[in-house]
Amino acid sequence: MTTAAKIDPIEPKFFKDLGAKGVKITYGPFAIPGSHDPETMGMVTNHMFNITMPCHDCLITGWSSDLQFVNGTSANANNNMWMHHTGLMNLNRTDLACEHWPERISVNGNERSPFDFTLKGTRKAGYFLRAGDEIHQTLDVMNSATTPQSVHLVVEWEFLPAVHPAFDIVVPVWLDVKGNCLNQSTGILPTDKVFTAKGPAAGWTSKVAGDLVLMVPHIHDGSTKQDVFLDGRLVCTNVPAYGETAEFVTHRAAGGGGHDHGGAEGGHVYHVSSVSQCEAVGKVVPGSRFTIQSAYDMVLHEGSLDHHGEPEPIMAIEFLYIARPQAEAMKDILAMGPGDLKDFTDQVRGLKTPKEP
Ligand SMILES: [Cu+2]
């Protein structure tokens, strides 16, 4: 499916002196049925192939994503629209953590984490987008209202239109408590309230060298903190904030159910509104081993319910962004073939038995 997109120039924030540009790309619209729709229950997954990107043969230096109603106002939990998940993959490359899959570039949820590989213009690093690369975007939207609502996904991209020789090339790594190919059990039951989910002890071991410039987590409501270890040493703790603005606060309806993320009592429910990131974490060398653990407390912070009103499975993902020396990174990237998208999607949908990584 090709999705219509509208492109508007915006002012770049960083590296204007090096010719950086900004664009706002509006994807959609996406019509989401109401929560009483028997087929979808208001949860729709959109798979967008070969999405409109800001540039090609260029460096993507950062982006931020928002869900907006078609009139341009913000669509968020307070008006029953959830950017439940959005994920980017490069179909023309293979993944560093799960090598038969396409390269997973990022994952995000309603926390709407920004991505900035330049650390506010202090670090020359960007993601190389090659001419011909096809970027696949998954967008899960959840409508917890009983009436249908239509939204756009609005992404503000920042980029250098050509590959600047002074920039390192950022490569993404998906670290997950479930394992490198999502194939380990966390041992966490939906009824567990307070727990620490631990990823496999083997973790992910790097074959490349570079600087770990940025770490961006994705967790769900109930998270209290997520820790990442390098060779057994704690190098990053991500802490979520809840309900920082009214957009991220919902009200429990008496006897509410469905998507309302609440029980029978009245009151406010505070949802994850941002999660702290880790920057300029340090050097990565071949053999560097990363492991992850993620703490949840559903007593302190009410967990999310799925569209059947059941406790939603937790997630505990950390994206590692490693800035590699340009020549080495380019050589590896140009040698990569496409990944197996079907293998990835079949596993995410639970249609197949996982392969070992
Ligand atoms: Cu998630």
How many whole angstroms from 75 Cα to the centroid of ligand 1? 18
Q: Is the pLDDT at 260 greater than 60, yes or no?
A: no
Among left, alpha and beta (phi > 0; psi -120 to 50; other), residue 177 is alpha
Q: Is the pLDDT at 128 greater than 90, yes or no?
A: yes
How many whole angstroms from 86 Cα to the centroid of ligand 1? 9
- What per-residue confidence (pLDDT) applies to 350? 67
- What per-residue confidence (pLDDT) applies to 244? 97
- Report the predicted TM-score, pTM, of the whole model to 2 decimal places: 0.93
How sure is the predictor about 183, in pLDDT bands with cuts at 50, 70 and 90?
A: confident
Report the share of the chain in percent with pLDDT over 70.
93
The token pair that represents 275 in the structure block = 């999660």
Taking the C-alpha atoms of residue 140 and residue 45, their distance in angstroms, rounded to an integer, is 4
How many whole angstroms from 214 Cα to the centroid of ligand 1? 19
Q: Pick the range with the lowest mean pLDDT from 31-40, 281-290, 302-311.
A: 302-311
How many whole angstroms from 270 Cα to the centroid of ligand 1? 17
How many whole angstroms from 33 Cα to the centroid of ligand 1? 21
Average pLDDT, the chain: 91
How sure is the predictor about 251, in pLDDT bands with cuts at 50, 70 and 90?
A: confident
How many whole angstroms from 191 Cα to the centroid of ligand 1? 18
Q: Is the pLDDT at 134 greater than 70, yes or no?
A: yes
Taking the C-alpha atoms of residue 85 and residue 95, their distance in angstroms, rounded to an integer, is 19
Q: What is the mean pLDDT of residues 106-133?
A: 97
- What per-residue confidence (pLDDT) applies to 304? 84
How many whole angstroms from 85 Cα to the centroid of ligand 1? 6
How many whole angstroms from 54 Cα to the centroid of ligand 1? 26
In angstroms, the Cα distances linking 151 to 44, 68, 80, 305 are: 12, 5, 12, 22
How many whole angstroms from 224 Cα to the centroid of ligand 1? 15
How many whole angstroms from 281 Cα to the centroid of ligand 1? 24
pLDDT tens sequence across 305-333: 776 778 888 999 999 999 999 999 999 99
* Other CB atoms within 10 A of residue 184 CB: 17
How many whole angstroms from 84 Cα to the centroid of ligand 1? 7
Q: Is there a contact between 5 and 19 (Cβ–Cβ < 8 Å)?
A: no
How many whole angstroms from 87 Cα to the centroid of ligand 1? 10
How many whole angstroms from 81 Cα to the centroid of ligand 1? 15
How sure is the predictor about 72, in pLDDT bands with cuts at 50, 70 and 90?
A: very high
Pairing mode, strands 125-129 and 168-176: parallel
How many whole angstroms from 138 Cα to the centroid of ligand 1? 12
Sequence length of the chain is: 357
The token pair that represents 50 in the structure block = 């070969």
Give the residue, 45 or 349, on which the prediction is more confident: 45
Q: What is the mean pLDDT of residues 95-118?
A: 97
Buried/exposed 142-170: b ≥16 CB within 10 Å, e otherwise: bbbbeeebbbbbbbbbbbbeebbeebbbb
Taking the C-alpha atoms of residue 14 and residue 20, their distance in angstroms, rounded to an integer, is 7
- What per-residue confidence (pLDDT) applies to 191? 80
How many whole angstroms from 225 Cα to the centroid of ligand 1? 15
How many whole angstroms from 302 Cα to the centroid of ligand 1? 15
Q: What is the mean pLDDT of residues 249-255?
A: 73
The token pair that represents 179 in the structure block = 């394992």
> Using CA of residue 105, residue 111, residue 116, residue 122, what is the dihedral sign?
negative
How sure is the predictor about 27, in pLDDT bands with cuts at 50, 70 and 90?
A: very high
Task: Find how far residue 27's CA is from the centre of its chain.
Answer: 17
Report the share of the chain in percent with pLDDT over 90.
82
Would you give the end-to-end CA distance of the chain in angstroms? 29
Residues 156, 237, 289: CA angle, nearest 5 degrees: 95
Taking the C-alpha atoms of residue 167 and residue 300, their distance in angstroms, rounded to an integer, is 43
How many whole angstroms from 74 Cα to the centroid of ligand 1? 20
Q: Is there a contact between 292 and 228 (Cβ–Cβ < 8 Å)?
A: yes
How many whole angstroms from 59 Cα to the centroid of ligand 1? 27
Nearest to 67 by CA among 108, 13, 23: 108
Taking the C-alpha atoms of residue 342 and residue 145, their distance in angstroms, rounded to an integer, is 32
How many whole angstroms from 220 Cα to the centroid of ligand 1? 6
Longest dimension (CA), the chain: 60
In angstroms, the Cα distances linking 335 to 84, 85, 89, 308, 338 are: 34, 30, 18, 45, 10
Nearest to 32 by CA among 69, 63, 57: 69
Taking the C-alpha atoms of residue 336 and residue 311, their distance in angstroms, rounded to an integer, is 39
- What per-residue confidence (pLDDT) applies to 318? 98
- Burial, 66: exposed, middle or buried (Cβ in 10 Å; 0-12, 13-18, 19+)? middle
